Chain A
Amino acid sequence: MAAVTRISALCNRGVKPLFLSKSLLARTLVSSKKTRDPPVLLSAQIHTSPAHYAAGSKAASLHWTGERALSVALLGMIPVAYMYPGPAMDYSLAAALTLHSHWGLGQVLTDYVHGDTAIKASNAGLFALSAVTFAGLCYFNYHDVGICKAVAMLWSL
């Protein structure tokens, strides 16, 4: 798909790319004319993203951004948890790990699970698993030593 980005890079020279900035799929290119001819008779059937013909939701885009933001946050938490272990880091790690894992496994399901009922069932199962995981981690943080201390104890073996 590097070729697609190249096209928009080419068209960016002085022109605001209306269609090519969104993802599109050119279905049929009618003619195979030589480069010199004016491209007037070319027609194409295209998919347009929802923003072109109706107000679409930004949910997917926001989800993507949220995933990356959470990944950065989780990366930052690792050294901080090492330097400042305690309940604050324990619960932050529990939340960040569970959510990162939930979203990541969600992408795996999206890739490999097909069919309406299968998708619904697997997502429901994932939600249950993530809920139980978060509950378990919070229980461990409250009633037992907590994640940071547990890693330290495990490593001292």
Chain B
Amino acid sequence: MALLLRSLVQRSAAVSSGSRCCLLYRHAVAMGTNAKEEMQKFTDKNSRLARPLSPHITIYSWSVPMMMSITHRGTGVGLSAGVAVFAVSALVLPGDFASYLSLIQSLSLGPALICTAKFGLAFPVAFHSFNGIRHLMWDLGKGFRMPEVYRSGYAVIALSVLSAIALAAL
């Protein structure tokens, strides 16, 4: 795939800016199937032949961008689950919100545990929000160079931790 793209780039460079890039595809023929159908055929063939899945996440070397990406997804799913549980509880459980808060207060959990719990709530929100901004910058086309990816990544981690600590201390 990389070789293909590289040869394409070389050909584009060879073609001067005056000529059309479509010279590459002068004899192009549109395929009868679309990409989704091709993928489905491939998936069906894999299940039919009972092909084993190649190791990927178990052997590939993890990087900071990879970990941040899956954490973004994990925090998103976790927060959604939390909101859903909260909403269903509001519908199903007896008593109002204040009664449950006084129940928690009566447990006398101690400030350390309460602060830790607040951090546990605040960090996913902070991380998902700051990394969300990073995603939106990518959607604008900015910050794709590798050093920029790492710099913005570390900035998101730092901001998330600091703001979560600040929120937990409130």
A contact residues vs B (CB 8 Å cutoff): 2-4, 6-7, 10-11, 13-15, 17-20, 25-27, 29, 32, 35-36, 39-40, 42-48, 50, 52-53, 68, 71-72, 75, 78, 97-98, 101, 104-105, 108, 114, 129, 132-137, 139-140, 143-145, 150, 153-155, 157
Contacts and interface: CB of A to CB of B under 8 A. Distances in A.
Given A7-B12, A46-B28, A13 B17 contact: yes
B108 to A, nearest CB: 11
Contact of A133 (B25, B30, B35, B84): B84
Contact of B12 (A10, A145, A154): A10
Interface residues of B, number: 61
Given A43-B26, A47-B35, A150-B97, A35 B87 contact: no
A94 to B, nearest CB: 9
A4 B9 CA distance: 9
Contacts of A17: 21
A46 B114 contact: no
Nearest to A32: B7
Most A Cβ at <10 Å: residue of B27, B80, B114: B80
Given A40-B23, A46-B28, A3 B87 contact: no
A35 B11 contact: yes
Contact of A132 (B8, B88, B101, B118): B88
A68 B4 contact: no
B83 interface: yes
A132 B24 CA distance: 53
A36 B15 CA distance: 9
B97 A135 contact: no
For the complex of A and B, the 5 pairs showing the least CB-CB separation, nearest first, are A136-B87, A43-B27, A101-B80, A140-B90, A11-B21
A153 B96 CA distance: 13
B22 A136 contact: no
Contact of B43 (A19, A114, A157): A114
Given A2-B144, A3-B9, A144 B34 contact: no
Contacts of A13: 17
